[in-house]
Amino acid sequence: MRVLGIETSCDETGIAIYDDQTGLLSHELYSQVKLHADYGGVVPELASRDHVRKIIPLIQKALQDADSRPEDIDGVAYTQGPGLVGALLVGSSVGRSLAFAWNKPAIGVHHMEGHLLAPMLDEPAPTFPFVALLVSGGHSMMVKVSGIGRYEMLGESLDDAAGEAFDKTAKLLGLDYPGGPLLAKLATKGDPKRFRFPRPMTDRPGLDFSFSGLKTFAANTIREHGLEEQTKADIARAFEDAVVDTLCIKCRRALEETGLDRLVIAGGVSANQTLREQLEKLMQKRGGKVFYPRPEFCTDNGAMIAYAGLKRLQAGERAGMDAKARPRWPLEELTPV
């Protein structure tokens, strides 16, 4: 089966074609970072309009790169939610329309399920069951994954997601948008011993997250010590260390509670090199293994949507004739495959 995947949940237009026999055939991604940089964050209306401009040319390019014609496509998968409603409507409308015009089945994909399954795009792929840490600009959650659609929420963020906290703290440090990667780069120059930030919600049981307090702690540290260049680097290092340590502590707890020895990290923050290194050390000590997508599949992309959609289409699931968008969509509502 060959599936066209369409991702438009936020500020990246991702298109891909995935074949269950030969793997990923094409992968196109357009980022709106420059469009939103002047505003310091994503402007939903501008995001939707830019998806409208880019989506058809990217689909045409993906088909060309995959040496495929519409008649070669066996199904169309599009992100149905969660995300920005206007952006979602662009992808779902185009995806459903193409499926109708080509007389092919369509399926709406849960954005976070796409991230959960993104490590399956490469070898070696994790086998079920495993614990998954999903960390991005909009979500921080710990999930026990027993199979596709078989998800148990173990913990989630009570306020800012990890990626959101990175971006907000980067803004306090005077870094450009998106600030997360720039903060991580600055942290490499920081003194790890100068400042120590708290590890939120690690002094009590449970697997929930809270990162808004770290942003406040950073703001107070900046107010007290200023923004001299080395101080900025030292604060960035302290902030990154606090987030990484917190995520590692929660992962260890989740593995202990579930008795599993396989860990998947996915989402934009999973590209953070310090986080990867620390989780590698954690899993080596435990005699387990950690899996994560290659960097281009950590952020939003069409490949993960094509793969997740293929699995559900193979199981016989089909979307209706409407093109609904679900800006809020609990992961637990998904049906097992």
* 138 marked among binding-site residues: yes
Q: Are 7 and 28 in contact (CB under 8 A)?
A: no
136 labelled ligand-binding: yes
Question: Is the separation of the CB atoms in 184 and 272 below 8 Å?
Answer: yes
In angstroms, what is the C-alpha Rg of the chain?
A: 20
300 labelled ligand-binding: yes
> What are the residues whose beta carbons fall under 8 Å from the beta carbon of 244, sequence distance 6 or more?
272, 274, 275, 278
DSSP 3-state of 323:
coil
115 assigned to a ligand binding site:
yes
- Residue whose tokens read 């357009």: 30
Altogether, the residues listed in the chain come to a count of: 337
* Helix (H/G/I), strand (E/B), else coil: 190: coil
How far is it, in rounded angstroms, from Cα 9 to Cα 329? Answer: 12
Q: What are phi and psi of 310, to 5 degrees?
A: -60, -45
Cβ count near 153 (within 10 Å): 13
For residue 82, is the peptide bond before it cis, meaning its omega torsion is within 30 degrees of 0?
Answer: yes
For 336, what's the count of Cα atoms within 13 Å in the CB-facing half-sphere? 6
Annotated binding residue 167: yes
Burial (CB < 10 A; 0-12, 13-18, 19+), residue 65, is: middle
Instruction: Residue 291: name the closest of 280, 302, 307, 303 by CA.
Output: 280
Detail the residues annotated as belonging to a binding site for Fe cation.
111, 115, 300
Detail the residues annotated as belonging to a binding site.
111, 115, 134-138, 167, 180, 272, 300
Detail the residues annotated as belonging to a binding site for substrate.
134-138, 167, 180, 272
